[in-house]
């Protein structure tokens, strides 16, 4: 009986620690509460933006804000239309343009979008910027940071983390958060996501940009252009999935996405 109850306890914890990714429906392990993810990412984000050099380019900032707002609105529209209104509380959108020559962009949990000036040098249209912003927002919507923190917690602390007292658990969360965001050590460069997360963010990002009214057809040329140039590897170009696989996947999904989501 004891063993049964123990198993039941673990099972219910694991059940409580499961989530479902919006849009794709993939099941995922989420051991950290939304509140803990938001507070840990917000503190890292705040210290990042307080020191990051802001761009003085008003027209570029206006473009980043415009694209960001449209992707944000599309995200909220999707969540509302699919019975996921409760997820809206996880987003308080912010849009930033940082004066930095790297071709980089990221979106932290909570909807904190940061684009670097260097990325805009390579962008030919707002549709192309929407490819990147859609991809980054998709990581946040899919709670990939939480999933990565959860996987790392299980790897580092093992099953004992499941039964750990709240104080021990939040110490583990702080530790994982600083590893996962990496904003302290490597200024603004998030750790690479897994191949699975990258493919999922590509797919979800295309849907979000299409709902926002952007043209998803530009994605193929955009990734081809990005893979041809540059030695820097920003988050959205982190080596996996390989460029060829990424482009093949996008070509495969595009007709269905346009049919289902294009107005």
**Options 36, 87, 117, 136, the catalytic residue:** 136
Min CB(178)–Zn ion separation in Å: 20
Judge whether 242 and 152 are in contact, CB under 8 Å: no
Min CB(155)–Zn ion separation in Å: 21
Min CB(226)–Zn ion separation in Å: 12
Which residues make beta-bridge pairs with 114? 96, 106
Which of 169, 205 has the CB closer to Zn ion?
205
Min CB(235)–Zn ion separation in Å: 5
Which residues have CB under 8 Å from 17's CB, separation 6+? 29, 30, 31, 150, 162
CB atoms near residue 38 (< 10 Å): 21
C-alpha torsion sign, points 180, 239, 107, 55:
positive
Which of 100, 198 has the CB closer to Zn ion?
198
Judge whether 253 and 206 are in contact, CB under 8 Å: yes
Which of 135, 169 has the CB closer to Zn ion?
135
Angle at 119 between CA 217 and CA 143, to 5 degrees: 75
Question: E strand or H helix at 96, and its extent?
Answer: strand 94-98
Is 136 an active-site residue?
yes
Which of 128, 172 has the CB closer to Zn ion?
128
The contact set with Zn ion (CB under 5 A) reads: 198, 201, 236
- Calculate helix-pair angle for 34-51, 144-157, nearest 10 degrees: 110
Residues taking part in catalysis: 136
């Amino acid at each position: 009986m004891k063993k049964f109850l123990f198993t039941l306890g673990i099972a219910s914890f694991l059940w409580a620690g499961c989530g479902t990714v919006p849009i794709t429906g993939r099941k995922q392990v989420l051991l950290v509460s939304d509140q803990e993810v938001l507070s840990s990412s917000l503190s890292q984000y705040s210290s990042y933006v307080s020191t990051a050099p802001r761009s003085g380019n008003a027209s570029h900032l206006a473009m980043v804000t415009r694209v960001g707002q449209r992707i944000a609105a599309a995200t909220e529209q999707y969540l509302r239309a699919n019975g996921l209104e409760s997820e809206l509380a996880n987003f308080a959108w912010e849009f930033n343009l940082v004066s930095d020559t790297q071709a980089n962009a990221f979106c932290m949990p909570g909807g904190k979008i940061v684009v670097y000036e260097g990325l805009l040098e390579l962008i030919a249209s707002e549709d192309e910027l929407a490819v990147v912003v859609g991809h980054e927002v998709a990581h946040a919507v899919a709670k990939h940071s939480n999933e990565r923190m959860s996987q790392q917690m299980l790897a580092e602390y093992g099953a004992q983390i499941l039964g750990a007292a709240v104080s021990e658990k939040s110490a583990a969360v702080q530790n994982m958060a600083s590893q996962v965001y990496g904003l302290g050590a490597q200024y603004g460069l998030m750790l690479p996501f897994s191949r699975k997360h990258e493919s999922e963010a590509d797919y979800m990002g295309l849907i979000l940009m299409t709902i926002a009214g952007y043209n998803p057809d530009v994605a193929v040329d955009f990734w081809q252009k990005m893979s041809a140039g540059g030695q820097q590897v920003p988050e959205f170009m982190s080596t996996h999935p390989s460029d060829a696989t990424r482009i093949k996947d996008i070509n495969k999904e595009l007709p269905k996405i346009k049919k289902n989501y294009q107005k």
